[in-house]
Chains A and B, each alone.
Chain A
Amino acid sequence: MIQVKNLYKRYGGVTAIDDITFSIRKGEIFGLLGPNGAGKTTTLRVLSTVLKPDRGQIRIGGYSVLDESQKVREIIGVCPQEIALYPELTARDNLIFFALMGGHKKAEAKKKSKEILTEIGLENKGDEKVISLSGGMKRRLNLAVSIIHEPLALFMDEPTVGIDPKSRAAIFEILNRFKKKGVTIVYTTHYMEEAERLCDRVAIMNNGHIIALESPHSLKKKFNPLGQISFEEIFLELTR
């Protein structure tokens, strides 16, 4: 579904991504892990057509990110780390607005917003302004906006930062549902137990390089055959 080859990007005077290559299968949940400044968010922004790479090739769903960015945008969903919603609009209005921006007709956008509010457990909060929702609810809505147009690939940048366990569980449930539908998910996080639980494979990044690319299970087996240390400790060891 996603092929990245020799990707390179300098950003703000430093090399944010330094010649990385990987590919992601359809329906896979792929974790991008690494300390702050490792290049995770930049990789995600390049994959989601927001930033242009300096070198390298990326294909998503058969389309080149560089040459067919408009086609790529039609099949991807992006969930940024920030709550990228209009605080003065209601949850429903935000969903309808972004569905319209995604190319849906008005009636269709209204129908989809109703469905998705139920799916994220906010059916009773649809007419409340975003500003009045709790942090967890905002996070769920932030995710809902990025999937309202039913993308084939979903890019998520730390979607569970600072939220309550209930909202986190709701987000995991949505992601698993999407995985079953065959949606490819690329996910960055600082929570190792979250990556271990959710991701089929993880790429650990450090200083713009990929230093490990395997399933969490294989990584644990490789670096900790006796099962004495946690996945988080393996991560800390690798990124030291």
Chain B
Amino acid sequence: MTLAPERSAISPTAPHVTQAQHVAAEQHRLNTRLSLEGGAERTHPPKKSGRPNPMGHLTNEQIEAIGRELDAIRAEVMASRGARDAAYIRRVIRVQRGLEIGSRAVLLFSKNKYAWLAGTAGLSLAKILENMEIGHNVLHGQWDWMRDPKIHSTSWDWDMASPAKQWQHSHNELHHTYTNVLGRDNDLGYGLLRVDEDQPWELFHLGQPIWHLINAMFFEYGIAAYDLELRGNLQNWDELSEEEKAVFKANLHEMLGKIRKQAMKDYVLHPLVSGPSFLPTLLANFTANTVRNIWSNTVIICGHFPDGIDTFETDSIEGETRGEWYLRQMLGSGNISGSKFTHIMTGNLSHQIEHHLFPDMPSNRYSEISPRIKALMERNDLHYVTGPVLKQAYQVYRKVCRLALPNEEPGRSRWSVVRGELGKVVKGKGGARTKRHLPSTADA
């Protein structure tokens, strides 16, 4: 059989696939999420902060029924995948590549300001399509069923700082399994922001209204650092085992190689090819990357942080059934409403709820199941969060600002807690840089 050509950036045996797996293998034999029925009696106690457990009002039978209903919807759509879907993703890829080539060709003449504007706009769109509707979804395995080795989760690489395999580990495996579980899902604030009252506050969060904006601008590097668990690993360096250190170093090496190739392309080679338009092309590429970064960041924060989306206690997922996992995905995600164009430009992450229920379902099918998911949730008294992108993004920014300050404590205002912490730092007792949890490694 003819195989996809070798892509040196991806190695299926890269060190990062060996490490956490050993632990996982010992940890849970036969994942309980493979089953709809929970063996022991399942309970859903309130969260530590006193807020109710979001699935507390449902009986175990109801949760099991929800699981069965969702299984049926999945089976129905998966069985109907066919030529129409395959034609869709190939068309999107063709359009994206055409747009990218065309825009880059126009940018050869980007000394002219109209050429610059047109080329930059086109390239921004191409990069957004490449990352969202194509890259993210192919790397999820949504198109593996076509058995086309070129459009496959094992062979794809994307126009991002993160090597595909590293991102697949932190995103597909950790984020999608532990969605919105406090202390387990690094996507809850990316280890940078405090986006939930139940997350501990540190002095560092005082600056998060600004960190958030910087993170959005350079989002691809933020994700890269996040895939490496850079902050946690560096802060806990002395506590890491030799194997963990080796894995980190290998991943870092792979990541830097990818970043070098990406930067070489956008900031050296294409500008050089443009000759007299060197600087305008460089600026165009930087602009397109930034536009893509801000847009993808906006889409992604709207997926889990707007008002009305729930988080879950670390120990609440012990022995979780598939029905409970489904519920957590629905309650922990939020959608973006908008036109068909909006949906495509978000990579259909505007259907974040549907995507989190069925991460491997082809993205072009989410819109057709969304009315059924919405009806199911409303029937079960579950809040289907959705709204226009600006409204959702505004809610998130408002929350980021609010949670920059600690929660109110009995008898103390938020500012007096801040002053207390600041005082400790001034007196040299530390506190701002406390050791942080390493959800996927240290906890496991």
Partners in one complex: no
